[in-house]
Amino acid sequence: MSKPVVLITGATAGIGEATAELFARNGYRLILTGRRQERLEALKNKLKTDVLTLCFDVRNRNEVEENLGSLPEGWKEVDILINNAGLAAGLSGIQNGDIDDWERMIDTNLKGLLYVTRTIVPGMIERKKGGHIINVSSIAGKEVYPNGNVYCASKHGVDALSKAMRIDLVSYGIKVTNIAPGMAETEFSIVRFGGDTEKAEKVYSGLTPLYAEDIADVIYFAVTRPPHVTLNDIIIMPTAQASAAIVNRK
């Protein structure tokens, strides 16, 4: 029997890419999405497993439905959905926030996740074989830190949606796992600070952050538990971090 199909949104960088690599090494079949076509192609060529790449923006409801609503033969049965695509844009007080940044975060982190989930979950239910949804939230979904306002609100929304999905889908045997990482050095801070790599590097200076592979390991562990076991909610931080705002820098 062939390995299950795993759909990973935001596989062109960071946590999504590391997760794709780990699942590929373990023989899973992968549907990988993102907006950067060349990165999707490069990843497909690198991975030694069956890969379908789909280039679209999760904020665009039509694109989500076109790409995921009519998957090609052999790819229709998505067993594991990893809702990972997301971002922070900016870091400023609510009084100074850039409303375009707010829209980007809400549209990507919440509405994008909802569009993807709404397109994939009915198939899981119809097939009556269970399924697993992993929502990559954040410690920003558990606590709020200075200037994090809208990003934190979007991730609190993801946290709430994980709980809500678990309730709505329990009778179909569909597992829902919420993953809440602390500081992980990916392209996250580069994106947050609009490409300012110097500013991004400072976020992780003087401490050993998490790496994308650390989160991939946790996702893989959650997915490979026996059928009767679900990890509902996992908080993972670097050892040097105690809470969103308290870190031990050398």
3-state secondary structure of 180: strand
The option from ligand 8X3, ligand NDP, none interacting with 32 (CB < 5 to 8 A, set by class) reads: none
The option from ligand 8X3, ligand NDP, none interacting with 238 (CB < 5 to 8 A, set by class) reads: none
* Tokens at 6, concatenated: 């795993």
Cα distances (angstroms) measured from residue 57 to each of 61, 65, 86, 189:
8, 11, 11, 20
Cβ closer to ligand 8X3: 42 or 245?
245
The option from ligand NDP, ligand 8X3, none interacting with 187 (CB < 5 to 8 A, set by class) reads: ligand NDP
The option from ligand 8X3, ligand NDP, none interacting with 10 (CB < 5 to 8 A, set by class) reads: ligand NDP
Nearest distance in Å: CB 140, ligand 8X3: 3
Tokens 């694109």 label which residue? 63
* Tokens at 57, concatenated: 């923006």
DSSP 8-state symbol, 206: T
Nearest distance in Å: CB 193, ligand NDP: 12
**One-letter identity of residue 13:** A
Cβ closer to ligand NDP: 32 or 121?
32
Q: Which residue is nearest to ligand 8X3 (CB)?
A: 138
Length of the chain: 250
Q: Which of 28, 115, 145, 151 is catalytic?
A: 151
Rule CB under 6 A: which residues touch ligand NDP? 9-16, 34-36, 57-59, 84-87, 108, 112, 136, 138, 181, 183-184, 186-188, 191, 212
Dihedral (C-alpha) 128, 215, 187, 114: value to the nearest 10 degrees?
30
Rule CB under 6 A: which residues touch ligand 8X3? 138-140, 148, 182-183, 244
Cβ closer to ligand 8X3: 7 or 244?
244
Cβ closer to ligand 8X3: 77 or 217?
217
151 is catalytic: yes
Q: Which residues are registered as beta bridge partners of 169?
A: none
Cα distances (angstroms) measured from residue 13 to each of 22, 69, 131, 162, 221:
14, 24, 25, 23, 20
The option from ligand NDP, ligand 8X3, none interacting with 59 (CB < 5 to 8 A, set by class) reads: ligand NDP
Cα distances (angstroms) measured from residue 108 to each of 33, 92, 189, 224:
13, 19, 16, 28
d(CA 115, CA 103): 16
Cβ closer to ligand NDP: 2 or 45?
45
Q: Which residues are catalytic?
A: 151
